[in-house]
Amino acid sequence: MAEIQLQRVSKRFGPILAVDALSIDVRDGEFVVLLGPSGAGKTTTLRLIAGLERPDEGDVLIGGELATAVHPSDRDVAFIFQQYSLYPHLSVYDNLAFPLRSPRRRSTESEVRKRVEAVAGMLHMESKLGNMATHLSGGEMQRVAIGRALVRQPRVFLMDEPLSSLDAKLREELRFELKRLHRTIGATIIYVTHDQVEATTLADRIGILEHGRLVQMDTPREVYGNPLCLSAARRLGSPPINLLPPNLFDVRVVPAGTATVAIRPEDIVFEEAHARDVMSLTVLEYSPLRHLLILDRDGTVVVATTTIERNFSPGQAVSVSLPVRSLLYFDRDGGRIVT
């Protein structure tokens, strides 16, 4: 079993508290994606699990065992980075075989061959085994880097933006592969990305980090529909959620203490001008292909998406309603006010 637990783990770098009494529970075989702004502590969290950093406080457990006492190379954890680090002077075969040929493994050459061929098959790289690593495309190199981790059959994969240096098409391709691999091998994966599509398609659960703390850990659907704080609400959604001042709304609607009212662009409803409780806004911009409208209300920009076929032109007045059931309220500290 390879469940991972961080129990009130803290890590400082001089004056910076990179990870702050962080507690996370990742289940065996789970695919968890960590999302958060730059500097939130995502990479440091992975490095603490891998043993590349030592916590100042708290414990890291892998498979229920205290990992802090275990040397990084004995943790049975593979770390895959954004920059693939292959041996350029070796062939794909030898790159894949390398981890298996360490003296500690004592694998025979036929065992090595069997394992390398199996992994090359999983990654559709059979025909490239004889190529030199430097003669591969970026996507192929990253496949080999993932393969190098796979041959060792670790219990845990830590992936730090593994696809971010690839172009959009390759990223998509490898994303499908990763999801498939996860289903096949059933390993526990913790994956850091800034890409929402990757996060929402790959993750069983998304962990939102902010200032070295976990502010929410839930399924993508739950984080999207029921964010526990402003930071989680902003992390998912394209175009992003609208953050509006409370004075835009009827005072009877907004709970006391509200500093921000949030609504998803697709929850804004276009109405006839004479309907009840409508708000009038001015079109700033309309993108017909994406059905995306940028609207203005007294200097506040509101983004809406619409499925209705209508021609909106800049300067035109439109009537919308912001249904109360779709509104989320946040206090000054970004905490959710649940009504």
- Find the shortest distance in angstroms from Cβ 73 to ligand ATP: 20
Binding site for ligand ATP (CB under 6 A): 13, 16, 18, 36, 38-44
- Which residue, 5 or 44, has its beta carbon nearer to ligand ATP? 44
- Which residue, 40 or 129, has its beta carbon nearer to ligand ATP? 40
Torsion of CA 138, 140, 142, 145, to 10 degrees: -140
SS3 of residue 201 by DSSP: helix
- Which residue, 15 or 299, has its beta carbon nearer to ligand ATP? 15
- Find the shortest distance in angstroms from Cβ 55 to ligand ATP: 13
Does an H or E element contain 146, and which?
A: helix 138-151
Interacting residues of 246 by C-beta distance below 8 A, sequence separation 6+? 254, 258, 259, 260, 261
Phi then psi for 287, rounded to 5 degrees? Answer: -110, 100
- Which residue, 32 or 268, has its beta carbon nearer to ligand ATP? 32
- Find the shortest distance in angstroms from Cβ 160 to ligand ATP: 8
Phi then psi for 126, rounded to 5 degrees? Answer: -55, -40
Q: What is the DSSP string of 102-124?
A: STTT---HHHHHHHHHHHHHHTT
- Which residue, 17 or 259, has its beta carbon nearer to ligand ATP? 17
- Find the shortest distance in angstroms from Cβ 47 to ligand ATP: 8
- Find the shortest distance in angstroms from Cβ 32 to ligand ATP: 15
